Structure 1
């Protein structure tokens, strides 16, 4: 069953056609890759899916709900969460508080209750602490809960960003180059983490990645973009062996 459907998606910036006529279907529970050379339009697609940009044409539906024209916060509440190529944590806040920020879609109290620290506030905060700790334990970060996010090693910062995204309880998780800056051992661990997240949370995942070992190791299907258009699409093994894809990455 399709969770995300993209049809004829396109966007232009002045005379530049950044994404052109993109069709893509991602099924519930699938681990899907979006790949292509630098400048191919991959991050632009993520920005379209999350409401950072509004498409010039085309449709985006998540679980049957039209997302075109919705704001980023509305799309997040509808069920899409993302991480970024350049890690965007609140680095001067604790590991625990970074995850709790992601929980605010689901735990609510009014301003008056929060300012006066009334019983309702304390109950919500206790529930948030417990849920945040559960997520941190999943990623083996519970012992780091009180530490500043900035003090975590790079690989753990990546895990924390994923944990924070999962705190919003998404239907679809977008990972933007999660292996960027990682050494081979860290990348291997990241592959296991992504597969674990998929199984543990029954999560549908779309990732942008340049590390073809990671892509071939975990993605079932991929779409390859080149200059904003679809170059190839289908089963990962078939696509990565397509001469057009090899040429796009390696040149003549």
Structure 2
């Protein structure tokens, strides 16, 4: 059984059909790419997968469970986490606290415990600090745990956002243009980071990306969207050499 199975997914905004008959199957552990021209519907697909948008039709199954149209928090608890094209960190909070925000799916204490600072509060906070530092160490960010997130270099802010998403313990990680705004050196570091994430966390990854060097270097399979519909699907090398994909997207 596929970890993610999407069948005939579609959404309309008024009279505009933004995505139509979108199908996708991703196996456990795969690194899968979703590409296409600007406005093709890629982020709209991500928004449906994460509950920001409710599909007009179609189904989304995560690990065999129907999550179609569920609330974002419920989908996150079911095992889907994401990053955004525009970084959405809590810039006025520390690097450590940004990751701890993602840990609240795994560590909980009652309102009274938090208000009155009961012993369980301190024990839980200590456990969360330890876990957050473990995650940050994968990215080499543990030494920056106490600085404000906004003071990190751009590439490290990208990595922190991924770290925070991983703190929710996802089965499926959605990366929305993780290389956007990066220089070549940062992009190369990102490729290494994503490879490390798969090794350390065993997470399945679906990413949207325009950097074809990154896509061809790390993605095992691709789906190409064009005007809200699937143009091509399959192994990365096959898709990138498809004449229709070259004509519609690569412009060669």
Structure 1 and Structure 2 fold alike (TM over 0.5): yes
Q: Following TM superposition, by how much is the alpha carbon of 1:199 offset from its aligned partner in structure 2, in angstroms?
A: 1.4
Displacement of 1:195 in angstroms is: 1.1
Q: Which residue pairs with 1:129 in the alignment? A: 129
Shift of residue 69, structure 1, vs aligned partner: 2.3
2:120 aligns with 120
3-state SS in 1 of match to 2:3: strand
Matched ranges for 1:159-238 at <5 A: 159-238=159-238
Large movers: runs of 4+ above 2 Å: none
Structure 2 partner of 1:106: 106
When normalised by structure 1's length, the TM-score is 0.99
Query: Scaled by the length of structure 2, what TM-score is found?
Result: 0.99
Pairing of 1:78-157 with structure 2 (within 5 A): 78-157=78-157
1:64 aligned partner:
64
| Separation in structure 2 between the aligned mates of residue 188 and residue 250 of structure 1, nearest angstrom | 21
Q: Which runs of 5+ in 2 are unaligned?
A: none
How far does the alpha carbon of each residue in 1:156-193 deviate from its partner, in whole angstroms, 9 at most, with x for none? 00110000000000000000000000011110110110
Asked if the contact 2:48–2:69 (Cα under 8 Å) also holds between the matched residues in 1, the reply is: no
Distance 1:185 1:248 in 2: 29
RMSD: 0.8
Distance in 2 separating the partners of 1:157 and 1:83: 11
Count of aligned pairs:
252
Equivalent residue for 2:248? 248
Mapped partners of 1:250, 1:164: distance in 2: 33
Aligned residue in 1 for 2:6: 6
Structure 2 distance, partners of 1:218, 1:190, is 11
Map 1:26-37 → 2, pairs under 5 A: 26-37=26-37
Unaligned runs of 5+ in 1: none
Q: Distance in 2 between matches of 1:189 and 1:113?
A: 41
Following superposition, the deviation at residue 250 of structure 1 comes to: 4.2
Query: Partners of 2:8 and 2:228 in 1: how far apart?
Result: 12
**What's the counterpart of residue 24 of structure 1?**
24
